[in-house]
Chain A
C-alpha cells in the first residue's frame, strides 16, 4: 500500500489561464505508466490520448511516459518487448485504439499490461458517440486507474459550481455543471439574484441550491436532465444550506423560522419537518455522515463557529463538539469512509481547507492561501476541490491526498462553491 503524506503540500502556486496541471508533489511512490498513443482509424485518437494523460496526471498517482520517452513503441501485444520497459522502470503499459463502428458510434478498446508479470491484465471496450469524445476518454482513464490502484476513478464524474459576472449595476449568477476536469461546462440556472450552496442528490440526477430570486434565500431542487425544479418548502421564512441524506429521502436545511438559523430535516415525500437544533446562536451548514446516522453542522454556541455532530440514532442526544483548534472551523463534510471531516479552518488571518481524522486530536491543514473555502471531496475520497480567491477573483483548485495539486480553467467571472457529484459510471 502507498503511504500518503499530507504534510508536504504547502507550495505556492502560479496563475494559469487554462487547465494546467501543476503537480507540485505527487505520491511518494507513483506508478510508472507507459501510455502509448492510441491508434486506429478515427481521428479522435489524438484527443483521447491527451485527455487520458491529463486525467491520469491529475490523480497524482502516476508518472506518465508518452511515446517520446519510450525505447520502443509497440502497436500490438505481439510487438511488445517487456525489457524495453523494464529498463525505464515502467510498471504498467497502456495501449489502445479508437474506431468507428458506424456513423453515430465509436468504440475505444484499450489494454493494460503488467511489466512485472509480463502479461496482459485488462482489455476493455468503451462505446460512445463522436461528439462526446471527452466522456469516452474519461471512462478509459477511470478503467486504467481502477485496474492499477484498485480504487474507483473520478475522471467521469462531474462538478457543480456557481459563477458570478459583475457589470456596472447588476450581477449575473450561473449554476454550472462541468466534467471533473472543468471542461464541458453547461448552465443549469441563470439569475440576476445570488445563487449559493449547490449540492448533489445521492444519485447525481438532481441538484439542490439556494436562490434569492424570490427576494430572500429559498432552497430549490432541480433535475439536471429536464430542468424541472421546485421550491422545497413554501413559507415566509428564509431557507438555506440544503444537504441530501445518503438515501435521498431527506434534505437537511437551515430555516430562519424564529429569526435565527436552526437546522431541520425535511422529508421530501410528505414534507414533514423535524427540528434538529434549538439554540440562540447560529446553527447551519449541515451535512450527513456516509451511512446517514449523523449530521455535522457549524454552530456559534461556543462563542465562535465550530463543528458539532448529532447522532440521529440516539434519542434526544446532545450535539457533540468536533473541532477545538482555532476560533473558526466551519462548513464540515465527512470523508466518504466516515473516518474524518474536511472543513474551513482559520489560522491567524487566513482561511484554509483542513482535515481532521476522528481518531486524532489535531488538525491537518491541506491548503495555505488566504481565503480558501467550500471544500468538496471526490466520491472515491482521494481529491478535494475548493474555491480560492486570487487578485480579487474566485477560482477553483484541487488537492489530492497523495499531494498532487491542480487548478480548473478560469472562465469569465468569479467561480465558487464547487460540489463533487457521486460516481456516474
Chain B
C-alpha cells in the first residue's frame, strides 16, 4: 500500500528537487532532495563625485547648522538667529544655491528618523521661503541617522546629531 506524492521544483541550474512522501504500514517518511544554489553577484554602487560648488561661496555657510529636540522639528530662537544671517547672505549674493540636509540621532527606527530629518530640513526651508528666498535656490534632503557628527551614545552626542545643515 503506497501513497506517493512528488513535488518538483526547478532552480537556475535545472536541478530537480524530488520529495517523495511514502506512507506505508510503518509510516516512514522517505525524502530525497538536492541542495539549491542560486549563486550570488556583488555590485559596486556608482560613487557620487564631490559637488563642484566653489569653496569660497561654500565657506559662508559652512557653520550654518541648527539643532533640534528629540522627535521635534521646530526652530528655536538660537536657530532663528543663525538662519537670519544665512538669509542675509543669500540676499547679498543671488547666485548662491543651498542644500539643506536634515539629520536625527540614533534613537528610534531608521526610516522614522529619515522622515524626521526631512521635517527638520523642511522647517529650515519654510523659514527661507517666508523670508523671500526663491524656492528654486533651495534643495532639501534627509540623511536620517545615517550621518552622525558625533559617535557617542549619550545626550551630548545626540544633541549634536539632531540637526539641519545648510551648505
Contact = CB atoms under 8 A, between A and B. Distances in A.
Is chain B found bound to chain A in the same assembly?
Answer: yes
B69 interface: no
A195 B46 CA distance: 13
A304 B107 CA distance: 14
A191 B26 CA distance: 57
Given A124-B30, A193-B45, A213-B45, A259 B118 contact: yes
A315 B134 CA distance: 40
Contacts of B56: none
B35 A139 contact: yes
A141 interface: no
A121 B27 contact: yes
B114 interface: yes
Nearest to B32: A125
A271 interface: no
B32 A196 contact: no
B108 A123 contact: no
Interface stretch (A66-74, A84-92, A219-227): A219-227
A14 B71 CA distance: 32
B115 to A, nearest CB: 4
Contacts of A224: 38-41
B109 A196 contact: no
A191 B146 CA distance: 13
Contact of A127 (B35, B112, B114, B151): B35
B13 to A, nearest CB: 10
B118 A226 contact: no
A119 B3 CA distance: 20
A2 interface: no
- Which range contains the number of A residues in contact with the other chain? 35 or more
Interface string A209-229: 001111111000011111101
A216 B141 contact: yes
B162 interface: no
B32 to A, nearest CB: 5
A333 B37 CA distance: 28
A313 interface: no
Contact of B111 (A177, A226, A285, A389): A285
B34 interface: yes
Interface stretch (A27-35, A56-64, A181-189, A318-326): A181-189
Interface stretch (A37-45, A47-55, A128-136): A128-136
A330 interface: yes
Contacts of A212: 143, 146
A282 B28 contact: no
Given A132-B35, A217-B114, A260-B122, A373 B109 contact: yes
B25 to A, nearest CB: 11
A217 B35 contact: no
A275 interface: no
A192 B32 contact: no
Given A139-B33, A196-B144, A373-B109, A190 B114 contact: no
Nearest to B12: A225
Contact of B48 (A136, A139, A195, A215): A215
B138 to A, nearest CB: 11
B45 A190 contact: yes
A177 B40 CA distance: 9
A344 interface: yes
Residue of B43, B119, B152 with most chain A CB atoms under a 10 A cut-off: B43
Contacts of B45: 189-193, 195, 211, 213
A135 B36 CA distance: 8
Contacts of B41: 188, 223-227
A143 B35 contact: no
7 contacts: A121-B29, A124-B31, A126-B35, A128-B34, A135-B35, A260-B118, A370-B153
Shortest Cβ-Cβ A-B pairs, 10 listed? A227-B41, A191-B45, A261-B115, A194-B146, A128-B35, A282-B115, A122-B29, A213-B45, A124-B31, A331-B109
